[in-house]
Structure 1
């Protein structure tokens, strides 16, 4: 199966309210040869104020932010290319936490299915988690990076690339980061092919479930450099949500919990220790069987014997598993009942799937050229989310389709968001950006970037004037 390695540079660090301003990707075959690449940048959407610190890191040209292609044009190209490259395994670095969420948000806000990377036989994998696991049970295959500022080991991509002699022309450039991710993956594939192939195989939820039938004892890979592998035993899937699987943490004594009722079992899932661990198998968790751990020094034969004794206790208590299944259902239903509709369009991405009529309207909207016709189509969406998204696209492409009053409403909405002075809002505002610039000026670590910081400051001033004009028109 081929791979798509990808990376984003964004206007800030909020996965809902910031946007990608550079998207790079490489279509790679099974020999890790790059077949084709994509590298696109775009200007800012209306209402988006970039965080100055983010711009200092990714150093996207200010002219691009003002006059580049639109965000929607960029996402059209990305969607078309990612679809063309499918099916594939989509790989990033720390991507499941950030890049994947930003990609979904970008697709959603462009009237595309946000689940492109894990539907239609596509899969997802995160190289960060793969390297975390590998360095703990097979050290030496990947050399850890060294942070020159702290002189401490680091899992940052730029330091890993240096430590392993992987080419990376410029850290925090999306295409350079893609090349670094490909290079590190190739090292793992060449030097630990069984581990790499295993991680890729269980990135499929179907294969993951089948793998659980091959062992009794499993080991969950660490989610943080300070954590180790956790010995676990599979208990059950959630009857109402089959991609949510429950495991017992074998560091604990099952005898203490065998008679627990539903409420107590839910507490075991949600407590700090999480004695019952829940894994979302559509998020590509890394779980290794005993065959991998036998070749490492992480656990002794005595450890394995104790783990197996605990598993025998769990296997003899089928009533415990039945109560657990009910607890999983109860917990899911409680969350659904107590989960209010989020306030903002951006955070409503998971508030329901699109219905067939709206999906058809999305296709018609995207394929229609005439702006007046697109405006009429936009009013046919049954889901208010998609109507609003369509209006935002039209405001960017063809603002003249709106009446004077509607156009004024649109401009006021974006201006009020950008010019707000409430520090509690999740997005960056002009006020926040100005404060950040003053703080950066006082930081000696950024003394070499003052010239670019001045460019950013001028740009923020221009954006402020633009939004003030929105309010006055």
Structure 2
């Protein structure tokens, strides 16, 4: 991220506080963002602003208790969601911006997409147009713990497992974070953790930053050879450091941004013994409902969601031992997979039949019902360019 003499590349660290946990049906309460250069020096003024809750929306009381932001405070300090969305959109669409946060891929980015969707902005363009990108520091911290833990203090939760809660990490590493769940406090804490990783493990930091890009990730994936990789993901669970060796079986038959991976630490015999219908049923059963049945060792990795993937030898033997990952078991699993290529067809068949999806009849929850048509995009542009007082006179139909 160097200044090319024209537009400087920047990081935009951000965080939302919301009135609930559902990105589509709950509403934002507060937004904060700080723009920095590539060395995390602050550029410009920090941004923090509130969103007035709509008259037909009831906040979740639990969310208010966590954030301390009441609907009355948001109403007094905030602006309506259309103005709130416009301010965020102007920040996110500055060229050459890498937009990041802490757990933003799974939460904050979904809030952004839904805020933009409700207010007639493209829900996705901010993350890729004009040389823009997104990244998530949560998986960076998980990867640092698993692959290069030296130089950082790693707190544990009450169960004795590593904790990646931002407030636990900042406390363990002597970083000021006195007002957790205030958006601006969380943004400053995220910047401090990014600085810590970049200082203590610069090679890992630079690798992960470069490989936030799906084209870089695609270059690592060798499906024909089932080339093993190390993958860090919260789906694996903190009990094994959120990490495993995986092998790519096939690209998803419908979603070109998803690759079907086999968790080599799992029970590979299931893929040989069970038919695709049984595998599909077991795969879509919650772990808590599996009973004595072992989980199916198959995982989709979405290369457009900044997953952590690296060459297999990035996970050193001593770190595999520390995390409790049996290297020989993983090697044996890989050998079995390569000797039984028919498993590939069986697993692809699981995903060839679409995952159960029921379109919502709630207009606020229809973001993922399909992409906007060109006609819809043109209509959205007209809405955004029209003065609010003139909106009732528009004769527009969305497809």
- Structure 1 stretches of 4+ moved >6 Å: 149-153
CA distance in 1, matches of 2:366, 2:297: 31
Distance 2:96 2:310 in 1: 25
RMSD between aligned alpha carbons?
A: 3.0
Q: Would you say the 8 A contact 2:161–2:239 is kept in 1?
A: no
Counterparts of 1:195-344 in structure 2, within 5 Å, are 195-213=204-222, 216-223=227-234, 224-228=237-241, 229-252=243-266, 254=268, 257-258=271-272, 261-267=275-281, 269-270=283-284, 272=287, 273-294=295-316, 296-299=318-321, 303-304=326-327, 306-330=329-353, 332=354, 335=355, 338-344=356-362
Match of 2:14 among 6, 25, 33: 6
What's the TM-score, normalizing by structure 1? Answer: 0.71
Q: Give the alignment partner of residue 82 of structure 2, picking from 62, 72, 76.
A: 72
Q: Deviations over 1:76-117 (max 9, x none)?
A: 011011102x43332211222221221111111111111245
CA positional deviation for 1:290: 2.1
Q: Conserved in 1, the CA contact under 8 Å of 2:99 and 2:133?
A: yes
Q: Which position in structure 2 is the counterpart of 1:88?
A: 97
Check conservation: 2:85, 2:119, Cα contact below 8 A: yes
Deviation at 1:235, TM superposition (A): 0.8
Q: Distance in 1 between matches of 2:144 and 2:280?
A: 32
Structure 1, residues 330-359: CA drift from partner, whole Å, max 9, x if none? 2x2xx3xx5332132222111111110110
Gapped regions of structure 2 (runs ≥ 5): 2-9, 288-294
More helix by share: 1
Aligned 1:59-458 pairs, distance under 5 A: 59-60=68-69, 62-66=72-76, 68-84=78-94, 86-120=95-129, 121-145=131-155, 154-168=163-177, 170-213=179-222, 216-223=227-234, 224-228=237-241, 229-252=243-266, 254=268, 257-258=271-272, 261-267=275-281, 269-270=283-284, 272=287, 273-294=295-316, 296-299=318-321, 303-304=326-327, 306-330=329-353, 332=354, 335=355, 338-369=356-387, 371-372=389-390, 374-377=391-394, 379-383=395-399
Residues 1-59 of structure 1: per-residue CA shift (max 9 Å, x gap) = 43221101112233222211211112222111122332221221221223344334333
Higher relative contact order (CA 8 A, sep 6+): 1
CA shift for structure 1 position 259: 6.6
Query: Secondary structure of 1:106's partner?
Result: helix
Name the CA distance, whole Å, in 1 between partners of 2:339 and 2:183: 52
